[in-house]
Structure 1
Amino acid sequence: MSFAEFNNIRTLRKEAREIGYDVFLEIAEKVLAISSEIEDLKKEDEANRAKKLALIEKFQAMLAEEGIEGIAITEIAEGVVAPAKTGSGSGKGGKGVKRGSVEPKYAFKDDKGVEQNWSGRGRMPLTLKAKIESGEKLESFLIKKED
């Protein structure tokens, strides 16, 4: 049964008649138990949020005592109380998250003698991989940076 069916009172009445009274009562007890668990979790989340907001207000007062003003509680609370808004949840990049371009880290010549570069990200170019497998060191292809 899908959620749409489960959420429809007519469908529930029909299913209740078909499964019998005893089974229906057993299901109702389980639903009430789950409801109670969810309510407890919600109360716990609200209590944790209240504690965090109290701490933020305390820090706001401490900042004001030091003469640092103009920072709204919402600015401080942005990453603490509200869930972080990241693409993968970790905040460190991940599958599908664009990380931007970087300078090439390695330089090498392909089989035709054409200069190639590799940033060190992603799969290693096959030409470079073949050179390393033939015994050359990856460090020998590092691009020397002048400071």
Structure 2
Amino acid sequence: MSDALKALNNLRTLRAQARDIEVVVLNEMLEKFAVVVAERREEAAAENAAQREKDEKLALYKEMLLNDGIDISELAQLKQTGTKPKAKRAPRPAKYKFIDEDGNEKFWTGQGRTPSPIKSALDAGGSMDDFLI
């Protein structure tokens, strides 16, 4: 809660602050505060009504399931078995072979960033065919 709201919630602080404010201004503040409170009450009532409606629908669906002989746990199992895990793609076979900076033989599928030894050879005028397996 902010300091301003804490001050509004404290009667002593309100009395001390109100001594320096004219009654007309206090009445204007009271009217504005009443509008804010009324709006907040309407929002809360709407939220409560929506929650009651949702609870009534859930009770109705539960009753319908029980009348049809379906247990709620069976319904929950449908969701778990209905989704299949995403199959992971098989790794691609290597298409190119090159020697890295350490002298080790390496392989590249041709996808992704071009390895630096192949890139430097291409920049020097070489061809990708030179690296085919």
What TM-score, normalized to structure 2? 0.53
How far does the alpha carbon of each residue in 1:79-125 deviate from its partner, in whole angstroms, 9 at most, with x for none? Answer: xxxxxxxxxxxxxxxxxxxxxxx99x899x9x748779xxxxxxxx9
CA RMSD of aligned residues (A): 3.7
Q: Which has the larger radius of gyration?
A: 2
What TM-score, normalized to structure 1? 0.48
**Deviating 4+ runs (over 6 angstroms):** 113-116
In structure 1, the gaps of 5 or more residues are 76-101, 117-124, 135-147
Q: Assess, with a 3 A threshold, how the Cα gap between structure 1 residues 115 and 23 changes in structure 2: closer, same or farther.
A: farther
2:46 to 25, 44, 57: 44
Residue 12 of structure 2 corresponds to residue 6 of structure 1 = no
Match of 2:58 in 1: 56
Q: Higher helix share goes to which structure?
A: 2
Q: How many residues align?
A: 92
* Distance apart, 1:61 and its partner CA: 1.0
Match of 1:33 in 2: 35
In structure 2, the gaps of 5 or more residues are 77-87, 123-133
Q: Distance in 1 between matches of 2:107 and 2:37?
A: 65
- Percent identical among aligned pairs is 26
One-letter amino acid matched to 2:62: Q
